[in-house]
Amino acid sequence: MMQAVNPHLAARTPDEALDALKSQLMAYSAGDPPFDRKRRLRESPRSWWEQLLTHDGADVLAVRCTSF
């Protein structure tokens, strides 16, 4: 089911994705890695989030932030 919704989250159950989202939101709000990386010159916010799609500590939040 998760594969059809979003392939980036295919390895997670919905409960695992929700738990990951909660912890990633806390890390983001605290400025913890990997969310502490500054945007590069001319890097768009979307590109900044896209580079986090493959990072286990940021993937669920990145999927949400790039789905707009």
Domain spans, the chain: 2-65
User: For residue range 1-34, what is the model confidence (pLDDT) as tens digits?
Assistant: 555 667 878 888 889 999 999 999 999 999 999 9
Q: What is the pTM of this model?
A: 0.84
> Residue 53: exposed, middle, or buried by beta-carbon count in 10 A (0-12, 13-18, 19+)?
middle
pLDDT value at position 8?
79
Q: In whole angstroms, give the CA distance from residue 7 to residue 45.
A: 21
pLDDT value at position 6?
75
Asked if 39 and 48 count as a contact pair (C-beta separation under 8 A), the reply is yes
- The percent of residues in the chain predicted with pLDDT above 90, rounded, is 74
